[in-house]
Amino acid sequence: MAAYIIRRLVWTVPVVLLVIFMTFMLMKQIEGNPFRKSERAVPAAVQMNLERKFSLDRPWYVQYANYVKGVATGDLGPSLVLRDRTVNDVVAEQFPRSIELGLLAFGWAVLLGVPAGVLAALKPNSRFDYGAMLFSNVGFALPNFLVATLLIYFVSVKWGLLPTSGWTTWQHKILPSFTLGLVPMAYFARLVRGTMLETLQQDYVRTARAKGLRRRRIVTVHVLRNSLIPVVTAAAPLLGYIITGSFIVENIFAVPGIGRYYVTAVSARDYSVVMGLTVLLSIIVIVANLVVDILYTVLDPRTREART
Amino acid sequence: MSAVQIAGRIAGVDAGAPIRQSSLWQDAWRRYVRNRGAVAAGAVFLVILAWCLVAPLVSPHDPNEVDFTNAYQGPSWSHPFGTDQFGRDLFTRAALGGRISIGIGFGATLAILGIGVVYGSVSGFVGGKLDNGLMRFLDALYGLPYLPFAILALAIIGTVNFWTMVVALSIASWFITARVVRGQIITLKENDYVRAAKAVGVRWYAVLGRHLLPNTLGVLVITIFLELPGVILGEAFLSFLGLGINPPDASWGSMAQDGRDAYRAHPHIIIIPSLAIATLVLCANFIADGLRDALDPRTKET
Amino acid sequence: MRLRIPVLLAAAAVVAVAMVAAGCGGGGEQERAGSGGQKAASQVLKMAWGAEPPSLDPGLATDTTSSNVLLNMMDPLVRLGPDLQPVPALAESWDVDGKVVTFHLRDDGRWTNGDPVTAHDFEYSWKRTLDPKLAADYAYQLYGIVGAEAYNNAKPAQAAALRDKVGVKALDDRTLRVTLTSAQPWFVQQAAHHSFLAVHEPTVERYGAKWTEPQNIVTNGPFKLAGWKHDASITLVKNADWRNADRVALDRVEGRIIVDGTTRVQAFEAGEVDALDGGGLPPADMPRLKQLPEYEKYPALGTYYYGFNLKNIPDLNQRRAMAFAIDRQSIIDNVAQADQIPATGMVPKGMPGFETIQQDFLPSRADLDRAKQFMARVDDPKRKITLFYNDSPGHKEIAVAVQAMWKELGIDATIKAQEFAQYLEFLGPPPNDAVYVYRLGWIADYGDPMNFLELWTSKSGNNNSRFADPAYDRLIEQARNTPNDEQRYEIYRQAEAMLTGPHGRLPIAPIYWYTYTNLERESVQDTFEINPLDQFDLSKVVLKET
């Protein structure tokens, strides 16, 4: 067990280095001048001063070495475009908002998706089951920009119930997080229903039932607990979805997170910000995978041997 | 998106025993047609495909002809889906957009399968330290969001067209497929007939090509339909962020993006392509479910 | 938890119903309120900014949003009057003597920490902007000053020596003497640009790059920066100690940063903001927005044009044919839709000297007959061409329209989009050989036609057309040294004719002159004004009862 964890941890280092290297090389391939922000041509002197200031006049391996050194010490460098701020500033101010958005979306999913799945499994092929599964399918399929546009139009513009955009009060946070939470919600509903149905067929549940245990007790004590393991393990891949979805949702709802700025930073050639955010997102995903795998091993001892 | 769906649903297949080859496809077909949802989804899917292929050929409207006197018309008999701000017929354009969206979808899915099969079969077949290394690498990247890398890839290539879209969408989306293929290969490798083949001195590429890969075909077919929705939505997201393909061509995603600005006055321009995307994704999901049940009955839900 | 289930289903129903309802739903109608004249009790303006300011340092800011925030927090030497002529602001007067301009500052300028604003602040600030170590993008705005370019170009070793040679000197606390490289009659109005604002030396030296954060910043204008949540909001409050504070009505300006055009319009229509910053409304929604009583438009000094790569379309007749085949009015009415003005030449309407310079060279409506005549004279017509544009909103639609118009001439244009940063690299100069036609726009930095016409000199970094004519270069140089307005305008007229006139070389086909469009609640509509350089002065805004 400990050996497994250590092995996983050790493997994380080269992977992170590789991701940094790949992102770095990718960035170097992008043409375009971060210092030309409009039609106006940049005079040679200005260009030179800027390149010197941001060390872009050094060979690429020096830049890479400096960058890795920076990441190791937690310094992601200055932004090339947001001249008053460093990448650390951008991350420190805007990343928590994205995390909050993601967690709230996840919250919607747990709050609505899990009970829907449980109830659907308890009464399979009922109307409720069909309804929940239909919703789940539609939730998967509708592009979130359409959902966002419709929600804003009806809830905010037409009925005036919630603000259209922004990220200040709790009212502002309902629509963006719900939109982003729709797919995880649909996913949880389906996942929980599937695992519940499977668990209900297991021998020990039948035994428990045969022993005359009350159905509610069986469900809450045995079935639900075992069915929730997949929900824990689904958190990691969902993270990838939530990051992807946040790009769109932050754009439409003017949420000042990093997903929105990422797109801007790529087109503005703000190399250091793009690098910083990509590396950060990758590290988060890598760490999340690690945590989930370890959790999974703890929760479900059977998998220990299978995962070498 | 794709990661999410696959992660959950492939689980059963992943650990599964090899799918028997004999009358497998006939059995599967029989099981598939019993699943009414999957059959309906398949039918709708084919109808959409047919519409995309045929409608532009028979349409009386030139999809790219600009006629401002006809702009912003709502759905009518001559324009079932209405017209856009240039007065172009959206019925024809949506069909053409479907060709591009579905084409990119299948293109990227096949690219994902290609990379995944190579990576997975090398890892699974060679085994040992190499396998261990490749898999640790995958473990770490599992669930990595594809969108940042897709955006980077598009920025590098510069001009966005069909093929750059395919590259962008597959570049960071193949991790799960690779893992699934590896799982299959490893399970198959332990089979008696593979051992026997090895024992009688059949070369490794023959073993791989003749015995192992064909037996993963079922899983791959399922994977196509599991990946397709994610890829199609991914293309729509990129288009929506303004990174779509060049006009006058358009995909459903870029058509929806065109429609968003005018959604208050002319909602049909965003709704039609969005619903087209949704329908296609829905169908692909149902087909994938049906295929999984048909090809791998053990995991069939009650 | 069980109670939530109906919510889930209700939400599903909402989405389903919404899809149907939105199909037939119309736009929301705004009630038309009578125009009131009473000053409202609460003077808090809620507005939407179109972007996060990349920097609120006058030396480093380059974009419109930063510029507008800055010009409302700071006191420039001069501001621009309605006709774009300079009017006194912090400088109460100025003398122009050939290449030497002397500004006389008021004695009641104050920084928000109580320090007086002096000529030394300006000398420090301008030299700081030129300092190669600061690496200011807009350092070149000051290149008209003697020694400025040399200092900005200096190697670290020589920098200190060159710094002292820059032609800006505070003779005393209230006198600033500027020595220019040539007469430059537009210099005084150029000083209204945000690059010429002063910064507070002790604050800048103390906090470095962080001096613009609200807790550190020291400013000297009508408003103070009370809050800046990055990418989210900017809050300005009235500076009660400003020299003209009793004329400022607004107590507070609560600005939200909303980048997406549609999102911005939604926030306005839902009543969350009272005014937008003129950052552009989504073109596709314009027909609806133009009907709203809150819709406003302002003339702008800017030209949207298509440029030709002379290497790929060498025949003047073909360029002329293509320029004449463009239906500018139709593009404005059907595509751009923001009440722009058809561009009949490069120098935009509203520019001082416009009446002398412009002769309606290009047609507003497509002149297909003449276009076809020109086309017929082309020896080796290029019928397969490529039209490049950058993928920002709105350009695609215009390209599609122009593509259709050129088809009438038998020209088959392939249109290709590129992302902006890459696009600019691609255009050079010199432009990539794949480029036949490209789109660009130019918005004025200052109100003199020089700012538009000098783009087409052979050494200009903004001339992407390969047009190079020594005679044209000589004209522009001559204009630079002609202080008399009428004489200069006459030179400009000749220059414009060499570009777009009947015997001009047509390196470009201008399409329209920009307008700024905006949404403003009726309570501020009378006093919220955007000038032709995209600046608005919040110190003049008064919220009224409606």
pLDDT greater than 70 at residue B2: no
Confidence of residue B3 (pLDDT cuts 50, 70, 90): very low
pLDDT in the model for residue B225: 87
A92 CB neighbours in chain C (<8 A) are none
pLDDT in the model for residue C150: 94
pLDDT in the model for residue A1: 66
Distances (CA, A) of C209 to A76, C60, C205, C216, C223: 16, 10, 9, 11, 21
Check CB contact under 8 Å for B301 and A184: no
pLDDT greater than 90 at residue B74: no
Check CB contact under 8 Å for B256 and A289: no
B148 closest CB neighbour out of A18, A239, A262: A262
b/e map C385-420, b = 16+ CB within 10 Å: bbbbbbbebbbbbbbbbbbbbbeebebebebbbbbb
Omega cis (within 30) before C393:
no
Question: Number of helices and strands (H, E) in chain A?
Answer: 14, 0
* C positions 380-439 inside 8 Å of A (CB): 419-422, 424-426
C415 CB neighbours in chain B (<8 A) are 246-248
C424 closest CB neighbour out of A33, A44, A150: A33
Dist. CA C472–CA C457, nearest whole Å: 7
Any idea what the Cα angle at residue C451 is, between residues C447 and C456, rounded to 5°? 155
B265 closest CB neighbour out of C27, C393, C416: C27
Identify the chains in contact with A, defined as 3+ C-beta pairs within 8 A: B, C
Compare A191 and C10 and report the one with higher pLDDT.
Answer: A191
- The percentage of residues in chain C with a pLDDT greater than 70, rounded to a whole number, is 93
Check CB contact under 8 Å for B265 and C285: yes
Check CB contact under 8 Å for A289 and B142: yes
Taking residues C409-419, report their average pLDDT: 85
Complete DSSP assignment for C95-137: EEETTEEEEEE-S--B-TTSPBP-HHHHHHHHHHHH-TTT--G
Q: How far is C19 from chain B (nearest CA, A)?
A: 7
Complete DSSP assignment for B271-290: HHHHHHHHHHHHHHHHHHHH
Q: What value does the CA radius of gyration of chain A take, rounded to a whole number of Å?
A: 24
Compare B174 and A306 and report the one with higher pLDDT.
Answer: B174
Identify the chains in contact with C, defined as 3+ C-beta pairs within 8 A: A, B
A115 closest CB neighbour out of C1, C426, C440: C1
pLDDT in the model for residue A308: 39
Taking residues C443-467, report their average pLDDT: 90
Q: CB-based contact (8 Å) between A196 and chain B?
A: no
| Number of Cβ within a 10 Å radius of residue A68 | 16
B267 CB neighbours in chain C (<8 A) are 22-23, 25
A43 closest CB neighbour out of C1, C19, C461: C461
Q: Under a CB-based contact definition with an 8 Å cutoff, are residues A221 and A182 in contact? A: no
pLDDT in the model for residue A236: 67
* A positions 127-146 inside 8 Å of B (CB): 137-138, 140-143, 145-146
Instruction: State chain A's mean pLDDT as an integer.
Output: 83
Q: How far is CA A172 from the centre of its chain?
A: 20
Q: CB-based contact (8 Å) between C231 and chain A?
A: yes
B153 CB neighbours in chain A (<8 A) are 26
What is residue C454's DSSP assignment? G
What is residue C300's DSSP assignment? E
Q: What value does the CA radius of gyration of chain B take, rounded to a whole number of Å?
A: 22
Q: Which residue of B has its CA nearest to C402?
A: B66
Q: Under a CB-based contact definition with an 8 Å cutoff, are residues C147 and C167 in contact? A: yes
Q: CB-based contact (8 Å) between B270 and chain A?
A: yes
Q: How far is A243 from chain B (nearest CA, A)?
A: 7
B247 closest CB neighbour out of C262, C415, C426: C415
Taking residues A65-74, report their average pLDDT: 88
A135 closest CB neighbour out of C12, C256, C262: C12
pLDDT in the model for residue C538: 94
3-state secondary structure of C233: strand
Q: CB-based contact (8 Å) between C140 and chain A?
A: yes
B268 CB neighbours in chain C (<8 A) are 23
3-state secondary structure of C46: strand
Q: CB-based contact (8 Å) between C441 and chain A?
A: yes
Check CB contact under 8 Å for B274 and A146: yes
3-state secondary structure of B193: helix
C137 closest CB neighbour out of A46, A165, A185: A46
Check CB contact under 8 Å for A94 and C231: yes
3-state secondary structure of C442: strand
Q: Which residue of C has its CA nearest to A144?
A: C15
pLDDT in the model for residue B15: 40
| Number of Cβ within a 10 Å radius of residue A141 | 23
| Segment A277-297, tens digit of pLDDT | 888 888 888 887 778 777 777
**Count of positions (residues) in chain B:** 302
ipTM associated with this complex:
0.84
Closest CA to C281 of C297, C265, C293: C265
pLDDT greater than 80 at residue B140: no
Q: How far is A72 from chain C (nearest CA, A)?
A: 23
Q: Where are the alpha helices (DSSP H) in chain B?
A: 2-9, 11-14, 24-34, 36-58, 90-126, 128-141, 146-157, 162-170, 175-189, 192-199, 204-206, 213-215, 217-238, 252-261, 268-295
C227 CB neighbours in chain A (<8 A) are none
List the single range of A114-123, B64-73, B104-113, C519-528 with lowest mean pLDDT. Answer: B64-73
Q: Under a CB-based contact definition with an 8 Å cutoff, are residues B56 and B95 in contact? A: yes
Q: CB-based contact (8 Å) between A201 and chain B?
A: yes
Structure tokens belonging to residue B133: 């290394």
| Segment C77-136, tens digit of pLDDT | 999 988 888 999 999 999 999 899 999 999 999 999 999 999 999 999 999 999 999 999
Q: CB-based contact (8 Å) between C266 and chain A?
A: yes
Binding-site residues on chain C for chain B (CB distance < 8 A) = 19, 22-23, 25-28, 261-262, 282-285, 287-288, 330, 333-335, 391-393, 396-397, 399-401, 403-404, 415-419, 422, 426
pLDDT in the model for residue A197: 84
Check CB contact under 8 Å for B282 and A247: no
Compare A177 and A23 and report the one with higher pLDDT.
Answer: A177
Check CB contact under 8 Å for C137 and A269: no
Confidence of residue B291 (pLDDT cuts 50, 70, 90): confident
B247 closest CB neighbour out of C25, C334, C396: C396
| Segment C278-313, tens digit of pLDDT | 877 888 888 899 999 999 999 999 999 999 999 999
Q: Which residue of C has its CA nearest to B152?
A: C419
Q: CB-based contact (8 Å) between A252 and chain C?
A: yes
pLDDT in the model for residue C3: 37
* A positions 264-293 inside 8 Å of C (CB): 264, 267-269
| Segment B191-245, tens digit of pLDDT | 777 778 777 877 777 777 777 777 778 888 888 888 898 899 889 988 888 787 7
Q: CB-based contact (8 Å) between A187 and chain C?
A: no
Please list, in sequence order, all residues whose beta carbon lies within 8 angstroms of the beta carbon of residue C239, skipping any fewer than 6 positions away.
C112, C219, C221, C222, C223, C224, C245, C248
pLDDT greater than 90 at residue A68: no
Instruction: State chain C's mean pLDDT as an integer.
Output: 88
Q: How far is A19 from chain C (nearest CA, A)?
A: 24
Q: CB-based contact (8 Å) between A303 and chain C?
A: no
| Number of Cβ within a 10 Å radius of residue C271 | 14
pLDDT greater than 90 at residue C358: no
Structure tokens belonging to residue B91: 């019925």
Q: CB-based contact (8 Å) between B145 and chain A?
A: yes
A50 CB neighbours in chain C (<8 A) are 135, 137
Question: Where is C10: in which H helix or E strand?
Answer: helix C4-24
pLDDT greater than 60 at residue A303: no
Q: CB-based contact (8 Å) between B65 and chain C?
A: yes
Q: Under a CB-based contact definition with an 8 Å cutoff, are residues A93 and A258 in contact? A: no
| Segment A98-127, tens digit of pLDDT | 989 999 998 998 899 888 988 888 888 888
